[in-house]
Amino acid sequence: MTTTPPDWYDDGSGRRRWWDGTQWTEHVEAPQPAAPAVYAAPYQQQVPLDQPLYGATFGQAVSRFWSKYATFDGRASRSEYWFAFLFFMLLFWVPLLNLAMIIPMIAVAVRRLHDTNRSGAFYFLGFIPLAGSIILIVLLVDEPVPAGARFDAAARYGYRPPPGAQTSAPPQY
């Protein structure tokens, strides 16, 4: 016959009681609080560069601004465009840097027009004195339109995301 060594054991009532090797004693241990559950941070799916990043932060917008340096196809969300514009205006007075940023600034404006389902040719409205610039600003501020997806690379070059993949869609307000 084996004997159970003295120690704290679960007595069946959810408490731990001291077993002295021959019998239960009156010494009980308060139940230990359950350890708090630790949950992993939810996986954040990266939005592909050929899709607009709705709700982009300043850092994300600047990163995408430089990553898509001269990419005129696809779309850009409002936050992408306006944060890139803010970045451009902050550094506009640096002589050579403003020249380096002209092409990506035009590219992000064209992609922003695509997100509103308009051709990039509307960018040339900005060359009409006063009225053209005002019209262009109104177009750039406009809501995203799902039909603007026709300017995405998937629509132009024929590839599609894999089945079940989450695609980027404009937020519903």
Q: Is 74 left (phi over 0), alpha (psi -120 to 50) or beta?
A: left
Residue 90 CA to residue 65 CA, distance in Å, equals 14
Highest mean pLDDT among 19-23, 35-39, 168-172: 19-23
Q: Which of 103, 53, 47, 59 is nearest to 83 (CA)?
A: 59
Residue 22, pLDDT above cutoff 50: yes
Strand order in the sheet with 16-19: 7-10, 16-19, 24-29
In this prediction, residue 161 carries a pLDDT of 52
Instruction: Provide the pLDDT confidence category of residue 173 given band limits of 50, 70 and 90.
Output: very low
* Max Cα distance, the chain (Å): 102
Residue 44, pLDDT above cutoff 60: yes
116 versus 2: which is more confidently predicted?
Answer: 116
Place of tokens 């009681």: 17
For residue range 138-156, what is the model confidence (pLDDT) as tens digits?
999 999 988 888 888 766 5
Q: Is 158 left (phi over 0), alpha (psi -120 to 50) or beta?
A: left
Could you tell me what percent of the chain has a pLDDT over 90?
Answer: 42
Secondary structure tally for the chain: helices H, strands E: 6, 3
In this prediction, residue 20 carries a pLDDT of 83
Mean pLDDT, residues 163-169 taken together:
52
Instruction: Provide the pLDDT confidence category of residue 166 given band limits of 50, 70 and 90.
Output: low
Name beta bridge partners: 7.
19
Residue 16 CA to residue 32 CA, distance in Å, equals 9
pTM of the model: 0.62
For residue range 122-140, what is the model confidence (pLDDT) as tens digits?
999 999 999 999 999 999 9
**What spatial distance separates the first Cα and last Cα of the chain, rounded to whole Å?**
74
Q: Cα-atom radius of gyration of the chain, to the nearest Å?
A: 30
Residue 64, pLDDT above cutoff 50: yes
Mean pLDDT, residues 84-110 taken together:
91
